[in-house]
Each structure stands twice: as C-alpha cells, then as structure tokens.
Structure 1
Amino acid sequence: MIPLAWALRSGGHDVLVASTGEVVERAAQAGLPAVEAAPGLDVMRFFETTMRENERFGDFASLRELSVEDPRRAMELVARVFAALGDRLTEGMLAAAQGWRPDLVVFEQMDSAGPFIAAKLGIPAVQHNFGLARGTDELALYAKYTDAYDRHGVTRPTEADAIIDIATEGLGTPQIGWPMRYVAYNAGGVLPGWLLATRERPRVCVTLGTAVGLMSVGALGQIVEAAKEIDAEFIFALGDSDVAELGELPENVRLVEWIPLNALLEHCDAIVHHGGSGSTFTSLAAGVPQLLLPHSADQFDNATLVRDAGIGLWLEDTTVDASHLTKLLEDKEIRAACERLRAENAARPLPSELVSKLVALVS
C-alpha cells in the first residue's frame, strides 16, 4: 500500500498509517507518518492466544483441508481471527482518527478496523486488495465478527465505497473495482557491486520470505544440491536467517542478507520463493519465471494461479531437482507468458492515476 500512500502524498494530500508493530515501523521507514494503535501488542501471540482460548476457532488447525473441502467455512474462520485482531486495534485507531480527522480510509482487504473507523466517522472506505484473493463480500464477513460496531452503536457496512484491484487479467481472476498497476515496494538498500556487474551465466534468486526462520530449510537443501548440476548463479536472499545446516555451499551459490527484491530481480532470470503475494506480484511485475514452494496462508492459491497462468511452476509434494530449475530457466513458453503478464501489469493505471478517483469520493 506504500506506493499508493506516496502517490497521495506526492499529489499534495496528507496520509497517516495506523496499525501496530512491524507495520508501523515499516511505514515510518518508508517516510510516512504512522501511529501505533496497540502499543506492546505481539500479533502472533495474539493470534495464538485467541485461537487457543476461544472455542469459535476450534477447527482452525484444519484450515488447509477446509480451504479445499469447504472454502466458505475456511473464510469464516480466517475472518473471525482477523476480525478479533482488528477489534483489538479499533480503540487506538479511533482515538488517533478523531484527533487527526481523515476524509477517507483506505484499508487492506483483511483489515476490519479501517472500515469500522470509516463507519464511525461517516467517511468513505476503500478496500485495497493485496493479491489474488477477490473477496468482494469479505467486508460484510469481517464486520459480522467485529464487536466494535456493537460497542459504539455503529451500523455494520456491507460493502466498500470502492475496491482497488492489482490482479492482472492474465491470472484468470475476475476483474473487480478499480484496476491498478502493481508497483513493488521492497524498501531501500545499498546494492552490491557484483549485482550490477556484467555476468556470463543465468542468475536465480532464492527467497522464502520473512518466515524462513520459522520453517524447515529442507527445500533449500534440495536447491543447493540441484545447483551443483546447473551452470547458473544462485542468490540465496534469506535475510539474517540461520541456515547453518545447509553446510558448505557450492561456488555458484551466494548467500546475501538483504537486497530489495525488486532491485534484485532486475538482474535475475528466475526466482524460487514461498508464494507470498508480495514475492508473487513483484516477480510478475519483473517478468521473471517463478518456482513456488508454498507452506501457509494464501500461498497455495498463488501457486495454483501462477502454474495455471503459465508463468511458473508449483511442484506440490515433488522434490526440487535440477530438471525443474533448468525448465524454469530455459522454457520458452513460460518466459513468453511472463512477458505477457509483465506487459499487462505495466499497462494498468499507476497509483498516481487513482488519486483523482479517491479525491472524488471525498468531494
């Protein structure tokens, strides 16, 4: 959402980011004013405690299976958990909003606090989608489980005043609301000299998102073994994660701590990643073939659509080997599909082009 926030700022408008924890820190690092709605809140611990202590979440452990067998039931479980988080943020957000007096609220599609603030203050609310999930009826579902409406005597909204959608047509998803180009924001960073230097062999980025430290590095081990058979350079962009169990790395595997993903992909020919929406869309915008190794949340949906759109591979339970990485680098049909979707994304309206539409909602 930072590119849209900066488009508004560049258009002469004021923007305030309200959230908690790392989100507030990231917004501040991006040069945006931000307010902490729940000081000291540990979001992951809140999720764990909420699911453990509330019988409404008793079958949350089977969410992955439910997503296939009963998608609506799975969506309700997700809505309850995120509505509980949003409800925890509402009072802090409301206090900030009543002092700051916004004219418009833009909220990401899984946030239940933003729509409440808009309803309480009687101002427009715009849903900002962040990936492939369409969710046109999610607002009513989240509002159903957000208790703040009852506490404040506010009528629950059934839909947003507008929806901003970043998914391109080539992904096979229905277009809803206002289309917007996906502009990657991966923060800043000093690029190493070797990244910009002339190279003579293909380069593959390998990243498993910010949760790599919480999961097995087994897949990384498979990629290391496969890399030994391929004449390509592999950039393991894993942050400060402990990957000591990978052992000694071959000469064509380079371990780096932090390079902004969009800047790194400008100099890569393929990417292996976990299937998060940010990595998926940043890769799409760069026109880079993708190999997805999903492990939670919406990553399986992203993997399915990437595979079906022909812009990459999802191996499901198959072990990664050299043949998969070679296909990723050499398959002409995958590369052509990547270029087609890259062009589709580039042709969509820029965040700056939506500013006038947002202003019109206020006026």
Structure 2
Amino acid sequence: MRVLFTSYAEKSHFLGMVPLAWALRNAGHEVRVASQPELTDVITGAGLTAVPVGKNHGLGRLLQLAKDTGQEKDFDMAEDRPEMLTWQQIKTGYQGHVLWWCRVVNDPMIAELTEYCRQWEPDLVIWEPLTYAGSIAAKACGAAHARFMWGLDLTARMRGHYLRARQEAGVATDALGQWMGVHSRGFGVPFSEDMTTGHFTIDYTPGSLRLDLPLTYVPLRYIPYNGVAVVPPWLHVPPAKPRVCLTLGTSATERLDGYSVPVQDILTSLADLDIEVVATLPEKQQAELSHVPDNVRLVSFVPLHVLAPTCSVMIHHGGGGSFSTSVVNAVPQLILADMFDAPLKGELLAQQGAGLTLHSSQATGPRVREHLLRLLNEPSFTQAAQRLRQETLATPGPNQIVPELERLTAEHRGRAVS
C-alpha cells in the first residue's frame, strides 16, 4: 500500500515517526513524507522520500511576538477540572487553539498537500496530532488516516470537553469543525468528526500513562531516533561518576528566544556534587553562561539514545523525545515542565514513582538540586523507572504493528468519500 506521513515543519514532532516509516518500507510498502519545505533536509536525512508542500509556517515568529507584546495565550490544553470546563471558560481558549495551530500552521500547506494526495492516492495518511491538513487531505482523496502521537492526547480530550460544553450550552459554534469544514467542502467533501482524531491513533505513550479516552489506539513501542548522529569519544567508556544529563530541547532556542529555566543558576547549584553533568546547549546559549563548573561538560548536541543509557538521571523540559528516551532506558527523570502536556506528563510520571517534576517557574537552582539528590539517592525511583521500561518493552514495536495498520487501512480506506 501507499503510506503518506505528514507533519507541519517541526522537527521534534516528526522524528518519532521515522522508525515506523522505516518499518513500513521494510515491509514492502511505498512511503513518502509530506511537510513544509523547511523540513525537507530533516526528512531526506532520515533516508525517507520528502514531498515539500505549501509554504513554511510562521508560528515561532508569531509566538515570540505574542510573548514580547504580552499577548500570549494562557489556555491550558491539559485542564480537566469540571468547574474550569464550562462553555464560558472554554470557548475563547479553544478558539485560540484553532487560530494558532490550525490557521497559522496548517493553512499554508492544505491546498498543495490535498492536491498531492489526490494525485498520488495514498491508502493511508499518518499525521501528527496538530497537522489537521493531513486529515483534510485524506478525506478529500478517500484514504484511511491516523494520528501519530508524540505526547499525551490532550487534543482529543480537550475536543471532547469542548463538544460537551457546547452541547450543554445549547450553542452551534464549533471553531475546529467550522474551520475544517470550510476547507473540506472546498474539495467537495463534508466535515466529519473523525477528521479531528483520525480513524485510529498510533501512540507510543506507555499504557499506564495514557489518558483514558474512547478512541481506537494502536500501542507502539518507542524507538529513539535523533537524526544524524555521531558517538563522541568521551561516550566510548562508562562514566567514572554518576552522570546527569540536562537537556532542554531545541524548540525553545530555534523557535523562541531561549529557555524558560535559569540554566546558569541550575549548573551553579550542582557544582559541588560529585557527579558529571552533561548539558546539551547550543553554542549561543553556552556563550551566555558566566561560569561553567568543573563537573559540567557542555556539548551542543549528543544523540540522546546514546547518552541516556549512561545516565543516572535525566533533567529535561518534558519533550516527547527526551521523556520517551528516558523511559525506554529506565532512567529516573526530573521534568522542568512548562507548556502543553509537559506538566501533566510530569505529574503522571511522579505518580508512577519514576521521577519528579517542577514547573519551570519554580525551577530554581536550589530546588533542582534538592530534587536531583532525591533521584540519585532513593533507589525507589530507579526501580519504578525499570518497571516503566518493562511495560514499554512489552509493547509491540514498529515492525510488529504493520499488519494491524494494514488491517485498519483496509477497514477504513474509501469510507471518507461517499
């Protein structure tokens, strides 16, 4: 069959898809990846066939502008308290979600992506959960389509909250449905609710951490992929001291003006500990440090799937790759959570006993030090992390779920067009 993966141009959202794309190719299927031109080199660097469509989005620039002018959206997609999910509470925030993630990110790629799908006729379109352009294109060409999750399924849960609040209020407004319907009707097909969540969802979140939602999920074992990677000489041998990794992702520096936590304060607070801290910071952020303690190794990049197995603790921002790579290597985590699913992910991890979490606004050097010492000195965290790893290893890998994807594609292929 023909399978089209699609993601808006955000590298961290695409990388998790790569092992499944390889598995489908190895099974004999024809695989291509469609995204905005900015992501082309990342796609081809993964050994996959790229299809550039539309124009690059300006989300990072607009988010930074909103931050600089004090107009940031404070809608919490992880909100789950009934008293905060009334129609009056939810309508404006959800409409803002549609504005930022649908119009800003998706509008520049919908027309060309749909045109390509109608020409190439994929059997299955797999889209990351904010690339609604993928479901619109699948609907227009009659393909089965599935979301590929890189984190907790907040979009589907919030969609359910929104629809319930809307019904209880007796109003007809549906910001997402109306936006998607305008585009789909332009291609001659009506909006349907499956366009918001896919015919099914591929999810590498461990089952014990997954949100309980009434959707069809295909569990997938996470396989770390970080892009083109080289093992540095210092990673050839095991560390002489407990190694702690501090990694804060790429989006904060590539899309915004920097990190939301005080990196210098954190490194200084750890300076007297008998550990090795590996801090992955871009060169610009390295140059901004006033002092580098003797127990800190600064690197601009190191593949996490190589580094994590040598670490005693991972300190990170809660990104999908950092979180899942830590899980599969049974490394206790300290999540300095900031946005989207990271705070909830940190809470769920802490409930499992496999880590601790701090909101980025509370992540001072002394507090990070306090939490790190607990993770290093209390064996229960490592034991819980090992249980989470075993749960993950028991989940089918990319090669193993290919027959299920073939079955689901056959079940849904062509349903979208009647």
CA distance in 1, matches of 2:333, 2:251: 19
CA distance in 2, matches of 1:287, 1:31: 29
What pairs with 1:252-291 in structure 2 (closer than 5 Å)? Answer: 252-291=295-334
CA distance in 1, matches of 2:269, 2:184: 54
The one-letter amino acid paired with 2:365 is V
Report the more deviating stretch, 170-179 or 287-296: 170-179
Q: CA deviation at 1:124?
A: 0.7
Can you list the C-alpha shifts for 1:45-88, whole angstroms capped at 9, x where unaligned? Answer: 36678x89xxxxx9862324994744854445323422212233
The one-letter amino acid paired with 2:33 is V
Q: CA deviation at 1:278?
A: 1.9
The one-letter amino acid paired with 1:24 is T
The one-letter amino acid paired with 1:89 is M
Q: 2:404 is matched with which residue? A: 357
Q: 2:100 is matched with which residue? A: 81
Can you list the C-alpha shifts for 1:190-230, whole angstroms capped at 9, x where unaligned? Answer: 11111121332100010111134323475212221222121
Unaligned runs of 5+ in 1: 53-57
Match status 1:167 vs 2:187: no
The one-letter amino acid paired with 1:326 is L
CA distance in 2, matches of 1:81, 1:218: 24
Alignment partner of 1:340: what SS?
Answer: helix
The one-letter amino acid paired with 2:187 is H
Q: 2:23 is matched with which residue? A: 7
Match status 1:145 vs 2:179: yes
Alignment partner of 1:315: what SS?
Answer: strand
Determine if contact 2:78/2:154 at 8 Å carries over to the other structure. no
Determine if contact 1:60/1:77 at 8 Å carries over to the other structure. no
Fraction of identical pairs, as percent: 31
Unaligned runs of 5+ in 2: 1-16, 161-173, 411-418
Report the more deviating stretch, 207-216 or 286-295: 207-216
CA distance in 1, matches of 2:148, 2:79: 23
> Residues 254, 346 of structure 1: CA spacing in aligned structure 2 closer, same or farther, 3 A cutoff?
same
Determine if contact 1:235/1:253 at 8 Å carries over to the other structure. yes
> Residues 342, 132 of structure 1: CA spacing in aligned structure 2 closer, same or farther, 3 A cutoff?
same
Match status 1:211 vs 2:254: no
Q: 2:414 is matched with which residue? A: none
Q: 2:192 is matched with which residue? A: 157
Report the more deviating stretch, 124-133 or 212-221: 212-221
Q: Using CA pairs below 8 Å that are at least 6 residues apart, which structure has the higher relative contact order?
A: 2
Alignment partner of 2:310: what SS?
Answer: coil
The one of 10, 25, 38 equivalent to 2:54 is 38
Alignment partner of 2:337: what SS?
Answer: coil
What pairs with 1:97-108 in structure 2 (closer than 5 Å)? Answer: 97-108=117-128
Alignment partner of 2:349: what SS?
Answer: helix
Alignment partner of 2:75: what SS?
Answer: helix
CA distance in 1, matches of 2:340, 2:21: 26
The one-letter amino acid paired with 1:179 is P
Can you list the C-alpha shifts for 1:176-196, whole angstroms capped at 9, x where unaligned? Answer: 511111112111311111112
> Residues 126, 340 of structure 1: CA spacing in aligned structure 2 closer, same or farther, 3 A cutoff?
same
CA distance in 2, matches of 1:272, 1:199: 17
Report the more deviating stretch, 128-137 or 68-77: 68-77
Match status 1:231 vs 2:243: no
Report the more deviating stretch, 262-271 or 309-318: 309-318
CA distance in 2, matches of 1:226, 1:22: 38
The one of 31, 34, 39 equivalent to 1:23 is 39
Taking structure 1 as the reference length, the TM-score comes to 0.89
Alignment partner of 1:15: what SS?
Answer: strand
Q: CA deviation at 1:33?
A: 0.8
Q: 2:171 is matched with which residue? A: none
Taking structure 2 as the reference length, the TM-score comes to 0.78
Determine if contact 1:271/1:290 at 8 Å carries over to the other structure. yes
The one-letter amino acid paired with 2:371 is H
Q: 1:197 is matched with which residue? A: 237
Q: 1:55 is matched with which residue? A: none
Q: 2:285 is matched with which residue? A: 242
The one-letter amino acid paired with 1:349 is P
Determine if contact 2:266/2:364 at 8 Å carries over to the other structure. no
The one-letter amino acid paired with 1:205 is C
CA distance in 1, matches of 2:176, 2:242: 45
The one-letter amino acid paired with 2:115 is A
Give the RMSD, CA atoms, in angstroms. 2.7
Q: 1:251 is matched with which residue? A: 294
The one-letter amino acid paired with 1:300 is P
Q: 1:329 is matched with which residue? A: 376
CA distance in 2, matches of 1:284, 1:75: 31
Q: 1:292 is matched with which residue? A: 335
> Residues 42, 281 of structure 1: CA spacing in aligned structure 2 closer, same or farther, 3 A cutoff?
same
CA distance in 2, matches of 1:253, 1:339: 27
Q: 1:306 is matched with which residue? A: 349
Q: Number of residue pairs matched?
A: 357
Match status 1:127 vs 2:165: no
> Residues 47, 151 of structure 1: CA spacing in aligned structure 2 closer, same or farther, 3 A cutoff?
farther
> Residues 359, 169 of structure 1: CA spacing in aligned structure 2 closer, same or farther, 3 A cutoff?
closer
Determine if contact 1:21/1:42 at 8 Å carries over to the other structure. no
